[in-house]
Amino acid sequence: VVEAVASFLRLHHHCQIVSLGAGFDSLFFVAVKGRPNVRFFEVDFHHVVERKSDIIRHTPELLSVLVEPSFNGEKEIESKEYC
């Protein structure tokens, strides 16, 4: 999946990527980070989103990748390129 997304991004510099059933996948942090014209959306069950947001919030290495992160209470995280 990482290589497929990387190939896609080599051709499409302005795009949106939607990851359905993202779970605890790190695709954004591996393949998409540092691409300001790419918006990455993760969709999953509410309890999975809450747990992943908590992990990102409490892991400085992950949190530092996000540009201007904001938090919707304790449940969700969003930034200019990640939601």
**pLDDT, position 41:** 94
Residues in Cβ contact with 44 at an 8 Å cutoff, skipping those fewer than 6 apart: 20, 21, 22, 23, 52
Type of residue found at 21: G
Taking the C-alpha atoms of residue 70 and residue 77, their distance in angstroms, rounded to an integer, is 6
Give the pLDDT of residue 1: 86
- At 56 the pLDDT is 93
Best CA proximity match to 79, nearest among 19, 22, 45, 33: 33
**Which DSSP category does 8 fall into?**
H
9: Cα within 13 Å, side-chain hemisphere: 21
Q: How confident is the model at residue 20 (pLDDT cuts 50, 70, 90)?
A: very high
pLDDT tens per residue, range 27-78? 999 888 888 899 999 999 999 999 999 999 999 999 999 989 998 877 889 9
